[in-house]
Chain A
Amino acid sequence: MELELSSEDAAFRDEVRAFIAENYPQEMRVANPETDLTREQSLLWHRILHKKGWIAPLWPKEYGGPGWSVTQRFIFEQETSRAGTLPPLAFSVTMVGPVIYTFGNDAQKKKFLPGILSGEDWWCQGYSEPGSGSDLASVRTKAVRDGDHYIVNGHKTWTTLAQHADWIFCLVRTDPAAKPQAGISFLLIDMKSPGVTVRPIITIDGSHEVNDVFLEDVRVPAENLIGEENKGWTYAKFLLGNERTSMAGIGRSTRYLARLKQIVRTEVGEDDAAFGEFIREIARVELDVLALEATELRIVAQMSRGIDPGPAASLFKIRGTEIFQRITDLTHQAIGNYGLAIREHPVTANRFMPGPDYGHTATEKYLNSRKLSIYGGSNEIQRNIIAKAVLGL
């Protein structure tokens, strides 16, 4: 499905498409880019986009954005995702960057924004804590003012790719007496500071994407506080809004569906009774994707007319993650007996994996995608948001 594009927008789409085709690094086309790339390899595309001036579609022009319309941004998102490119560092560009240029002071903008755009600084997110789950306002990490520093003590968890990070943006409690949301501040912490320890968390697919981050008497310059003390919740909510918009994942689901069809055609003969069953299940998911894509296009059209999308992000998150989980489930089923095998991490070429190449990541993807309905505000929480904000319940 396509937006009806003006000739300028169509030309833009062709330009984006050609740029990806000519510039996306072959080195990044590995079996599972999310787990198989080194830190340096993950940054290759980020740097290419930065050089082109396309690294931060959402940012205003004055801070380094390309100055695109809503439609152009959507086209860019659609093309990069359809082409299966690894997104640039999301915690840097999509999350902390906008917080800094919206709520930070001039010195902070000058200090941090260039490194975010270039990829020189890798950012991770210090929101979740043990026991916090989707209830982020329950932050217990403490920051106590000591002259021109804060002394930070606490434990952040589920911190994605903290093992690569130079900086972490943290929610910290600065006023223990206030109501949960009122005593939180937004603090930027250098990962090289004494007292910061990163411990890997291995997930059920065997990969190392997330970490515990321990903060022990970490001295953080007070100039790294974003906005006002105890107003951090406002900035955090602003950031979460950005996190949830990107979860429909139409491009990714479309690519994985195409691959699933290829696997079913190769692995399951047409005379196999399972074939018809797979075809129907695939059709069902395809219609789910189509409906979600149509919804996304409708919302984009409304936004370009200046209409607030409201909690549409929650809808995208729920359906986008459920659809992708279903696709990984069907793919795991499609590879049959080889669904018993799983790659060992860290992945090396000399470890034997049985069966056709296209099945090698099916098991780990099925396992890994269970996280989608949990993180970024669980799908139960997203349903609560819609119940309250849309249905008025």
Chain B
Amino acid sequence: MDIQLTEEQELLRSSIQRFLREQYDFDERRKIVATDEGWSRRHWKSFAELGLCAAPFQESSGGLGGGSLATMIVMQEFGRNLVVEPYFETVVLAGGLIEDVGSPEQRQAFLPKIMEGEATWALAWAEGRSRYDFNNVTTTARCQGDKFVLSGTKAAVVGAPWADKLIVSARTSGGPRDRDGVSLFVVDRHAANLHLQSYKTIDGRRAAELTLMNVEVSADQMLGSEGAGVVALEATRDRAIAALCAEAVGAMSVLNSATLEYSKTRKQFGVALGTFQVLQHRMVDMFIALEEAISLTQHLNLSLSAHEPNGSKLASGAKSKVGYAARFVAEQAVQLHGGMGMSDELNVGHYFKRISSINVQFGDPAYHLTRYAQQS
């Protein structure tokens, strides 16, 4: 089942690799994270010029038609280099949603700017008490003539502090936990009566809590059908998981090779660390974890691009399995690097933190294990 990349896909991968090698080493990333915004508009522009922002979109939308395999290729390389620019938030989440459920007018209005690197987006689905369920929505959207008025709070919105546009889930009908009645709205980040409280995330990004106090949006800013937001978000999550798994695989592969290299060069008690059998077996388990993660990530991406019916169940399975595997690799990479693994100076801890963040986003491995078990 090993994916043989097409010539076009190979080209995409090698162009990303070349760019990141030349312009996105760990020191450069550190500088980017330390800036006020925490990401680089210059690099973002370059990603767009390389065609990355257009890669997964259909040709009919003006994209390059690469689909989820293109996303997988991009995200794996981004995972290897800990790229912090809002590709996942803008292209995978928002772009995917707009292409999936947006009206022709909305696709026309929003997608070109995303593909050209002109606009960044963030997806506000979570709330303080929602945990990982899209139906747990208390934010309301009241219909008033040709407008909707949004009120409530949204939590942990990664990328919101500097996004141009937000997609906000809000209840247009039903009770606080009903699957039906949640709708999605495009909200300008500078909209009146929208208040943001920003903070740093574990992996060096920026997120915000959103407070909406009677934020008015015109009815044509509703994304998808009224009341059908949960279904749209679930499909988005499947794609999101496929992307996050690819990113995790990229991060794991760097951790494994760094740990292996370290164990061959670092001496303790007069011999290389790698000569201790207990550490050899640990690294074999890390190797196996990565192999399994690669396989499941490829399997998921192939299933999603073929629109196979069990894609959503498989997405949860992969989020769980790859999440546990990535955590094992990350924790052991820190352990085997000893004190250095704990230091902010070395890259290992930063991969650890990105993996920790991936494991929270859209549901932790335990959550998805349960969801996998419950899906028939």
A residues sitting closer than 8 Å to B (CB atoms) are 128, 131, 133-135, 138, 157-158, 201-204, 206, 267-268, 272-274, 277, 332-333, 336-342, 344, 351-355, 363, 366-367, 370-371, 373-375, 378, 380, 383
A203 close to B342 (CB less than 8 A): yes
Which single member of B158, B331, B344, B370 contacts A273 (CB below 8 Å)? B370
Q: A133-B268, A202-B343, A367-B353 are in contact. Are A352 and B202 (CB under 8 A)?
A: no
Q: Are A342 and B201 in contact (CB under 8 A)?
A: yes
Q: List 25 A-B contacts (CB under 8 A).
A: A128-B339, A133-B268, A133-B339, A134-B268, A134-B338, A201-B345, A202-B345, A203-B344, A273-B374, A277-B370, A336-B132, A338-B155, A338-B156, A341-B202, A342-B201, A352-B209, A354-B199, A354-B207, A355-B155, A367-B202, A367-B356, A371-B342, A374-B335, A374-B339, A374-B342
Kindly state the separation between the CA atoms of A131 and B266 in the bound complex, as whole angstroms: 8
Q: Which of B131, B155, B335, B342 has the most CB of A within 10 A?
A: B342
Residues in B347-369 with C-beta less than 8 Å from chain A: 349-350, 352-353, 356-357, 360-361, 364, 366-367
When distances are taken between beta carbons in the complex, the residues of chain B under 8 Å from A342 are 200-202
Residues of chain A with a CB closer than 8 A to B343's CB: 201-204
On whether A354 and B156 interact (CB within 8 A), knowing A134-B268, A339-B360, A341-B199, the answer reads yes
Q: Chain B contacts of A133 at CB under 8 A?
A: 266, 268, 338-339
The chain B residue with its CB closest to the CB of A335 is B360
Instruction: Assess the A352–B197 pair: CB atoms within 8 A.
Output: yes
With A336-B131, A339-B364, A352-B197 already in contact, 10 other A-B pairs whose C-beta atoms are closer than 8 Å: A201-B343, A332-B356, A333-B364, A337-B126, A337-B156, A339-B202, A340-B156, A340-B201, A355-B155, A380-B279
- Give every chain A residue within 8 A of B331 (Cβ-Cβ): 370
Alpha-carbon gap, A370 to B202, bound state (A): 15
- What is the CA–CA distance of A273 and B133 in the complex, to the nearest angstrom? 11
* Bound-complex Cα distance A206 to B33 (A): 14
Residues of B169-201 at the interface with A, using a CB-CB cut-off of 8 Å, are: 197-201
| Contact flags B220-233 to A (C-beta < 8 A → 1, else 0) | 00000000000000
A274–B198 touching, CB < 8 Å: no
Interface: B250 (CB within 8 A) = no
| Interchain CB contact under 8 A, A158 and B339 | yes
Provide the residues of chain A in CB contact with B155, threshold 8 Å.
337-338, 354-355
Decide: A204 near B352, CB < 8 A? Known: A340-B156, A340-B207.
yes
- Do B269 and A135 touch (CB < 8 A)? yes
Who on chain A is nearest to B373 by CB?
Answer: A273
Q: Which of A135, A272, A332, A380 makes the CB contact (< 8 A) with B131? A: A272
Q: Which residues of A contact B158 (CB under 8 A)?
A: 340
Given contact pairs A203-B344, A352-B197, A380-B279, A274 touches B366 in the complex (Cβ within 8 A): yes
CA distance A8 to B120 in the complex (A): 70
Give B30 Cβ to nearest chain A Cβ, in Å. Answer: 12
- Contact partner of B356 (CB less than 8 A), chosen from A203, A277, A337, A366, is A366
- B306: chain A residues at CB < 8 Å are none
For residue B266, give the distance in angstroms from its CB to the closest CB of chain A: 8
In the complex, which residues of chain B have a beta carbon less than 8 angstroms from the beta carbon of A344? Answer: 200
Instruction: List residues of chain A with CB within 8 A of the CB of B207.
Output: 340-341, 354
Does the CB pair A204–B342 fall under 8 Å? Answer: yes
Residues of chain B at interface, number, CB under 8 A: 47
Q: Is B96 in the interface zone, CB < 8 Å from A?
A: no
Q: Which of B301-350 touch A at CB < 8 Å?
A: 331, 334-335, 338-339, 341-345, 349-350
Bound: A360/B219 CA distance, A? 38
Residues of B contacting A366 in the complex (Cβ-Cβ under 8 angstroms): 356
Q: How many A-B residue pairs have CB under 8 A?
A: 126
Q: How far is the CA of A354 from the CA of B197 in the complex (A)?
A: 8
Q: Are A340 and B131 in contact (CB under 8 A)?
A: no
Q: B residues within 8 A CB of A338?
A: 155-156
Q: Check: B62 CB closer than 8 A to any chain A CB.
A: no
Residues of B within 8 A of A341 (CB): 156, 199-202, 207
Query: With A and B bound together, what is the CA distance between A203 and B199 in angstroms?
Result: 19
The list of the 5 closest CB pairs from A to B, nearest first, reads A204-B349, A337-B156, A202-B344, A339-B360, A273-B370
User: Which of B266, B269, B361, B374 has the largest count of A CB atoms less than 10 A from its CB?
Assistant: B269
Which residues from B are CB-within-8-Å of A378?
A: 335, 338
Nearest B residue to A371 via CB reads B342
B358 to chain A, nearest CB (A): 10
* Contact indicator B335/A373 (Cβ below 8 Å): yes
A380 CA to B280 CA, complexed, in Å: 12
- A370 near B342 with CB under 8 A, answer yes
| Residues on the B chain within 8 Å of A134, using CB | 268, 338
Q: Could you say which residues of chain B place their CB within 8 Å of the CB of A268?
A: 131
**When the two chains form their complex, are residues A374 and B360 in contact, meaning their CB atoms are under 8 A apart?**
no
Instruction: Give Cα A203–Cα B352 distance, bound, in whole angstroms.
Output: 12
CA distance A371 to B337 in the complex (A): 11
| A374 CB contact (under 8 Å) in B338, B352, B361 | B338
B278 within 8 Å of A (CB atoms): yes
Indicate if the CB atoms of B339 and A204 lie closer than 8 Å: no
Q: How does the 8 Å CB contact mask read for B121-135 relative to A, with 1 for contact and 0 for none?
A: 000001011111000
A375 to B338, CA, bound (A): 8
Q: Which of A135, A158, A352, A374 contacts B198 (CB 8 A)?
A: A352
Which chain B residue shows the least CB distance to A338?
B156
Residues of the B chain whose Cβ atoms lie less than 8 Å from the Cβ of A272: 131
Which residue of B has the minimal Cβ distance to A277?
B366
Question: Given the complex, which residues of A lie within 8 Å of B201, measured CB to CB?
Answer: 340-342
* Chain A residues closer than 8 Å to B129, beta-carbon distance: 267
Instruction: Determine the residue in chain B with the shortest Cβ distance to A330.
Output: B366
From the candidates A203, A333, A337, name the one contacting B366 in the complex (CB within 8 A): A333
Q: How far is the CA of A153 from the CA of B305 in the complex (A)?
A: 62
Residue of A135, A273, A373 touching B268 (CB-CB under 8 A)? A135
Query: Whole-angstrom distance from the CB of A360 to the nearest CB of chain B?
Result: 11
**Bound Cα distance from A339 to B344, whole angstroms:** 19
Question: For residue A268, which residue of chain B has the nearest CB?
Answer: B131
Supposing A158-B339, A341-B156, A355-B155 touch, asked if A204 and B344 sit within 8 A by C-beta, the answer is: yes
A340-B353 in contact (CB<8A): no
Bound Cα distance A204, B367 (Å): 26
A374 CA / B132 CA spacing, docked (Å): 33
Q: Mark B5-42, 1 if CB is under 8 A from A, else 0.
A: 00000000000000000000000000000000000000
Q: How far is the CA of A375 from the CA of B201 in the complex (A)?
A: 26
Q: Indicate the member of A134, A204, A374, A383 with the most B CB atoms within 10 Å.
A: A204
Known: A158-B339, A370-B334. A337 touches B131 (CB 8 A): yes
The interface centre, meaning the residue of B130, B352, B360, B374 with most chain A CB atoms within 10 A of its CB, is: B360
A355 to chain B: closest residue by CB: B128
A352 to B196, CA, bound (A): 11
Q: In the assembled complex, which residues on chain A have CB atoms less than 8 Å from the CB atom of B370?
A: 273-274, 277
B183 to chain A, nearest CB (A): 21
Quote the shortest CB–CB distance from A376 to chain B (angstroms): 11
Give the complex CA separation of A355 and B199 in angstroms. 11
Residues of A within 8 A of B267 (CB): 131
Indicate if the CB atoms of A267 and B131 lie closer than 8 Å: yes
